[in-house]
Amino acid sequence: MTDLRIRPGDPDKKIRIYVNGQECPAFQGETVLAALTAAGKKSLRKSRQAKEPRGALCGMGVCYECLVAIDGVPGWRACQTEVRDLMEIEIDES
Amino acid sequence: MSPEPCQVAVVGGGLAGIIAAAMLQKNGLKVLLLDENQGLGGQYLRTHPPLPSGGGHFLPRLGAGHMRELAEKGVETVNRAQVLAISPAREILAEEDGQRLFTLRPEAVLLAPGAREKFIPFKGWTLPGVISTGAAQILIKAHGVLPGREMMIAGSGAFIYAVAAEVLANTGRVRAILDHNSLARKIEFAQGVLTMRHKLAEGLGQVARLLLARTPIKNRTRVLEARGDGRLEEVVTTKLDRAGNPLPGSEKTYPCTCLAVGNGFVANLELGQLAGCRLEHNPALGGWIVGVNQEMETSVPGVFAAGEITGVAGAEKSVTEGRLAALCVLHRLGRLSAQAFSDRARPLRKERARQLAFARRFNALHAVPAGIVNSLPDDTIICRCEDITMGEIREAIRGGCRTPLAVKRSARVGMGICQGRTCASFLYEMIAAHTGVPVSGQEVLSVRSPVKALGLGTLARPLERF
């Protein structure tokens, strides 16, 4: 599995999140986008009209390109949302 | 929520906001600090919630002391807050994390919402794997995550080099830096920096790192196209002529899965616009900005502004303006005598003038050459929210739309969920290139509240009074 973390995360802060049902490592305090990026997941959704794959652009809450569904609720900005233990994230990688 | 009403609302917890909030609270005013992120510090400090315990090792010095002070003085802070509306009478509507909706009407408001990145689109820039230089920096600095093991970095200005150095310092590799400016232009810029010793040191440190890593720097080069099946796989580059037009035959293809792009910054104007503040266009300060007087007050009485919103100029200017704005508010609300105010404001104004002079050089590197605008193919997506292409916008302009608003209405550009925040600055450049009306002669796209997307569930919450 891809791991783009620069140094190993703090084991005390390790939590479990699920991405499309698969367990994915994450650490308290980081954003959903950070956890997804660390796991090499870039395609997050489809664009509204052309239905083309999209992923994060601005990383700071401005562009709304990184919208994902969290615990069944769509429309969360991955870059502005912090991970929580047992969080279920849905992305459209197809 | 505290029972006492707040006297001053500070919107934005970046450098300008935290410094001002700490100063105001220290001098006896009741402050409410509203910030959109999980933690204070803005893009410059980028901390995790709630506050750095003992100053995290990512924290540079500037502003770090003020972060501690904020916590010590007990400045009331709402993280994950979005200010949705503000009226010329300083009536504010805000929400906290989709959970709470509240209003307040402070005696003074300080707008310090910072800046966002400016982009020059290219074919394929919507592919996953193409991110902004700011996103790359946040992932690395705040989260310790590399956006990719090997990256390309493209755009203009000093920030692309800072990000490249950051990648290299954190075990990443940089395949190449593509800068649409010529070396001569950058040298011209560097000469202006010689008098600012700390900027020079910072720049030299970055250059040293790039040299050590033998990172190729391609001048007068831009991305012609990003390609890939569903995600970035290849970057095609081109050399540019003096006007910014691609030089046929100079194309080069790189295998690449992560490309960071950035072309400087534009001020987050929306709240200033809603409050009715007079805007100014100053290309040397990042384009459209909120106009302020010597006291950092906007054209709307009681509404002050500090930091990038009054001109994109970086961290030091934000610190100076945060202090200056705080002094003005203290004076206005009777906490500082006219004499003390004048004595303490004078050196800050001098500092500010110097910082603005530096910014003028910095932003000159972000000018968008007309050749780049004119040579973009029609199938390039400009408005990412609604998938509106260059061709559709050109058609609207050819069909008689001469203003940003007319193009917006006709082509639906900037009508998506980001409300034009990502594409509007480029739209102004396109209209300028196609009609000859300079950006300063155009009218900036208007905004309506709520200025940020809001869930219906939040709207259904009872309205609280802060």
Which of B77, B72, B54, B63 shows the shortest CA–CA distance to B466? Answer: B77
Between CA B306 and CA B327 the distance in angstroms is 12
**More reliable by pLDDT, B348 or B204:** B348
The dihedrals phi and psi of B333, each to the nearest 5 degrees, come to -95, 20
Quick one: average pLDDT of B410-416? 93
Whether residues B128 and A43 touch (CB distance < 8 A) is answered with yes
- Please give the interface size between A and B, counted as residue pairs whose CB atoms are below 8 Å apart: 120
Q: Say if residue B54's pLDDT is above 50.
A: no
The SS3 call for residue B240 is: strand
Is A8 part of the contact surface with chain B (CB cutoff 8 Å)?
no
The answer to whether B132 and A58 are in contact (CB under 8 A) is yes
Least confident segment among B130-144, B183-197, B332-346: B183-197
Share of chain B above pLDDT 70, in %: 95
Q: Which residue in the block uniquely carries the two structure tokens 């505290």?
A: B2
Select from A27, A65, A67, A80 the residue whose CB has the most chain B CBs within 10 Å, as the one to mutate to test that interface. Answer: A65
Residues B221, B369: Cα–Cα separation, whole Å? 12
Angle between helices B338-364 and B315-332 (to 10 degrees): 150
Query: Per-residue pLDDT for B323 more than 50?
Result: yes
CB B174 within 8 A of CB B213: yes
The reply to whether CATH 3.50.50.60 applies to domain B8-116+266-362 is: yes
ipTM over 0.90: yes
Half-sphere exposure of B464 (CA within 13 A, CB side): 14
Q: How far apart are CA B326 and CA B343, in angstroms?
A: 14
What average pLDDT does this structure show over B58-86?
79
Pull the structure tokens for residue B155: 């755009």
Write out the H or E segment, with its range, that includes residue B81. strand B81-86
Q: Which of B134, B146, B422 minimises the CB distance to A4?
A: B146
Q: What is the pLDDT of residue B452?
A: 82
Q: What pLDDT score does B449 carry? A: 86
| Residue B55 scores a pLDDT above 70 | no
CA distances from B323 to A18, B314, B318 (A): 45, 15, 9
Instruction: Using pLDDT thresholds of 50, 70 and 90, give the confidence band for residue B109.
Output: very high
- Domain residue ranges of chain B, discontinuous segments joined by +: 8-116+266-362, 119-263, 370-435
For residue B167, name the pLDDT band (cuts at 50, 70, 90).
Answer: very high
pLDDT over 90 for what percent of chain B?
76
Using CA atoms, how far residue B99 sits from B35, B78, B118, B459, B463, in Å, is 15, 12, 31, 9, 11
Q: Name the residue among A34, A53, A64 with its Cβ closest to that of B128.
A: A53
User: How far apart, in whole angstroms, are the C-alpha atoms of residue B63 and residue B45?
Assistant: 8
The yes-or-no verdict on residue B52 having pLDDT over 50 is no
Q: Which CATH architecture has domain B370-435?
A: Orthogonal Bundle (1.10)
Q: Over 80: is that where the pLDDT of B46 sits? A: no
B43 CA: distance to closest CA in chain A (Å)? 8
pLDDT tens track for B133-161: 999 999 999 999 999 999 999 999 989 99
The C-alpha atoms of residue A90 and residue A18 are separated, in whole angstroms, by: 8
CA of A19, closest CA in chain B: separation in Å? 17
pLDDT band per the 50, 70, 90 thresholds, residue B68 = confident
Distance from CA of B379 to the nearest CA of A (A): 12
Residue B238 has pLDDT above 60, yes or no: yes
Quickly list DSSP for B260-281.
EEE--EEE--HHHHHHTPPEEE
Query: Above 60 in pLDDT, residue B2?
Result: no
Average pLDDT, rounded, for chain A: 95
- Closest chain B residue to the Cα of A3, Cα to Cα: B145
Mean pLDDT of B48-68: 52
Question: Do B370-435 and B8-116+266-362 have the same topology in CATH?
Answer: no
CATH architecture of the region B119-263: 3-Layer(bba) Sandwich (3.50)
Q: What percent of chain A has pLDDT over 90?
A: 94
pLDDT band at B3 (very low <50, low <70, confident <90, very high): low
Instruction: Compute the average pLDDT of residues A69-81.
Output: 95
Q: Indicate the pairing of strand A73-77 with strand A67-70.
A: antiparallel
Tell me the per-residue pLDDT of B13-34, one tens digit each, with 9 for 90 and over. Answer: 999 999 999 999 999 999 999 9
Query: Which residue in chain B is spatially nearest to A26 when comparing CA positions?
Result: B143
The larger pLDDT score, comparing residue B4 to residue B286, is at: B286
Q: Which residue of A has its CA nearest to B424?
A: A63
A7 Cβ under 8 Å from any chain B Cβ = yes
**Per-residue pLDDT band at A29 (split at 50, 70, 90):** very high
The torsion of the CA quartet B33, B285, B349, B333, rounded to 10 degrees, works out to -30
Average the pLDDT over B441-459 and give the result. 85
DSSP category for residue B441: G
DSSP letter at B151 equals E
Q: Residue B1 above 90 pLDDT?
A: no
Are B110 and B302 a contacting pair, CB within 8 Å? no
